[in-house]
Chain A
Amino acid sequence: MSASWATHQTLLAAVRRSGRARSLRAALLVAPAAAFLAIVFLVPIIGFMLRSVDNWEVPEALPRTSVTLADWNREGLPNEAAFSSLVLDLRALDGASAAALARRLNYSRTGLRTLILKTRASADAIEPEKARAALPALDSQWENQDVWGTLRNESSALTPFFLLAALDLSRDAAGAIHPSRDGALYREVFLRTFGISAAVTSFCVLLGMPLAFYLAAAPTKVASLVLALVLLPFWTSVLVRTTAWVILLQGQGLVNQLLLGLGLIAAPAKLIFNRIGVYVAMTHVMLPFFVLPLYGVMRRVPREHLRAAASLGAPPLLVFRKVYLPQILPGVMAGALLVFVTSLGYYITPALVGGPSDQMVSYFVGFFTNESVNWGMAAALGSLLLAAVVGIYVALAGPANINPARTV
């Protein structure tokens, strides 16, 4: 008895050792890819998330003012020391730093750009001790509590300004957070983005499930041909595909001409530059992303289960509901999640085929990056989108037991 127990223990130890060796080999094989992902993926993402709170322009340009304002209790106007340190700081600035400071403060409060540049131009002529009287004489805005409040809010190295603005919130001079006076813009944009993505995902599920089922059930030759047709859009540039939809759906386009010719409509229908165009074009682009994982899962469902259920007397609908659907559900959820997350970030398709009320978050990220060069705002919108996606994944993937690896 003890001899077999000892043999059992040695065997167990040997199995564990070889298991560890196998895990170590697997880890070493994955290590280069993990390092590549960490450098190329994680570092830039963390970089831009930091950019959304980065406020280097103000503390660097106004070091003394930032320090004196930190002691201000936000009531009335700051003390004389704040005025003098502002004059001293502005005197020390060179042209390029002053322009950067002016641009940055103008984001928080329009009008500060002109004020800062104007004050700097006269700063050499103002004596710091007399600044408390001289600055308001130069421009009455220096007696405005809101102006000093904004300077106080923006004088730390990290700022919540961009993140708040991306949620349509702002901080007043007293430091309290409340909805922005201009009204809601980005909240609507976020809701619109999630709404469009959810709709596109639903269309992909409705169209993709029958297609994937056909692919899984058809004989190999036909299935390969249909698979090649499904994959063909991947080999065409997404820009070309999107522009093709413009030509098809426009007022004088092929679809309208067909409908007019068949007598189904009396005047050209508005199919492009509105929500319909966005749904059609995005579903077209996203469909292969849904069909391919689902096809992989459907192919592995054993036909015998379905035949066995039928032979036990189940009608086709019951077979589908109780036997087939539970087995393909992970694939459906994984494909739907993939389509949803990709749609959230889609930029070029809604920009080309959508109307002005169809622009999604990524359009604004692109606008702030390229046209307005307000990278803080672009980073804030991007970070919030990333946080929302991670939140959705954590909320859904856990309970629904989605594991994308299971589709392989």
Chain B
Amino acid sequence: MKLSAYFAALAIAASSVAFAQEKTLVIAGTGGASQDAARKAWYEPFSKEMGVRVVEDEYDQKLSQIRAQIEANNVKWDVATVPILVLYAGCAEGMFEKVEWNKLLNPADFGEPLSPCGVPVVNSSGVLVYDADRIKDGPKTWADFWNVAKWPGKRGLWYGPQETLEVALMADGVLPAKVMEVLAGPGGVDRAFAKLDELKPNIQWWKSGSESLQLLGSGETVMSYAWNGRVAAANQADKKHLRMVWDAGHVNGSSHLVILKGAPHKQTAIDFIKYAASAPAQARYAEAIPYGPPNTRALDLVPATLRDQLPTAHLETAQPQNTQAYADFWTEHEGELSERFARWVSK
């Protein structure tokens, strides 16, 4: 009796020691098709190669959950995927661990120096989409998107000022690369709202990526602004023929991987981010879902047929979000413009 108890205690002690030695990493992703792709391309290979137990979580890509964890001193996530404005705001307020990424990675691969707060790993675009099955002669520019006479029906737009005001300016004839300059300049916002006024009775607002595709699929909208990865996923899964009009101009931005301040497994997090930003891992991700790899070396590893579907192949017509001008303008004016948009949209 005593001997078996002794062995049982020994077995428990041994297993708990083994458990404690296994490394863990908690990652908060975007959910949906993007997270499935990340799992295939990054989490599972990383877990196998480095012997790390990867625990996934997902959240709504807003700063509030990160801030709540840090303020409560109860940081559960090591790594999080964040959009550009969340990176900017969180970095300024010291919510992310600062790491010398320019020394650990090669900034030349990414085309520009890396922020100490995070590394870009996913490049995606919001683009003009229409169903080629329903419309044979489709729109070619954002001005066509506004042309209700030629293509009657509702148009889908994101329910918020961000990205929507940029699209309105592109429809008003502003070149994609110059949109931020015009928007931040005198009268830019008024010009965008005036242009939106023209289309307003025909706009169907959507609040989530899947809603935009659902509206297109059911025919509630004849054309829509939507995010390119979701469109490709719908084409693949639902056998649809949704066409993306890159040449009209698209709003292009990156998601970054960041380490939360006070993360429990900081070194493992650094190793993971280095892994996910490496060319082979980035190429695997692009193959799983057509979001462009910020690491330009990865483009060489991607099959040529896929390269055309990636936003990084169409950067000449991109309205870039990864600029200081974009981050400054929207961080400053987000509250004011959201209220103005709410007032405008309910009239």
Contact = CB atoms under 8 A, between A and B. Distances in A.
A210 to B, nearest CB: 35
Nearest to A351: B207
A194 interface: no
A113 B332 contact: yes
A106 B345 CA distance: 23
A326 interface: no
Given A251-B219, A371-B62, A99 B342 contact: no
A111 B328 CA distance: 11
A314 to B, nearest CB: 51
Interface string B180-209: 000000000000000000000000110100
A373 B339 CA distance: 14
Scoring B328, B340, B342, B347 by chain A CB atoms within 10 A of each residue's CB, the highest score goes to B342
A219 interface: no
Interface residues of B, number: 33
Contacts of A374: 335
B335 A185 contact: no
A84 to B, nearest CB: 26
A185 B343 contact: yes
A238 interface: no
Contacts of B53: none
B340 A182 contact: yes
A357 B346 contact: yes
A357 B347 contact: yes
Contacts of B328: 114
A370 B335 contact: no
Main secondary structure of the interface of B (DSSP, over half): helix
B331 A113 contact: yes
Contacts of B339: 182, 185
Contacts of A357: 345-347
Interface string B131-174: 00000000000000000000000000001100000000000000
A182 B333 contact: no
Contacts of A96: 92-95
B220 A370 contact: no
A375 to B, nearest CB: 8
Given A99-B93, A370-B62, A111 B332 contact: yes
A145 B328 CA distance: 25
B93 A370 contact: no
A183 interface: yes
Interface in A147-196: 182-183, 185, 188
A94 B328 CA distance: 19
Contacts of B219: 251-252
Given A114-B328, A251-B218, A251-B219, A185 B342 contact: yes
Nearest to B342: A185
B220 A100 contact: no
Interface string A55-72: 000000000000000000
Contact of B94 (A95, A183, A369): A95
A99 B94 contact: yes
B60 interface: yes
Contacts of B159: 356
B92 A110 contact: no
A367 interface: yes
Scoring B338, B339, B343 by chain A CB atoms within 10 A of each residue's CB, the highest score goes to B339
A372 B334 contact: yes
B338 A372 contact: yes
B49 interface: no
A364 interface: yes
Interface of A: 94-96, 99-100, 103, 106-107, 110-111, 113-114, 182-183, 185, 188, 250-252, 273, 351, 355-357, 359, 364, 367, 369-374
7 smallest CB-CB distances across A and B, nearest first, come from A96-B94, A99-B92, A356-B345, A357-B346, A99-B93, A110-B336, A370-B62
Given A110-B336, A251-B218, 12 more contacts: A95-B94, A99-B94, A106-B332, A114-B328, A182-B339, A182-B340, A185-B342, A188-B346, A357-B345, A357-B346, A364-B342, A372-B334
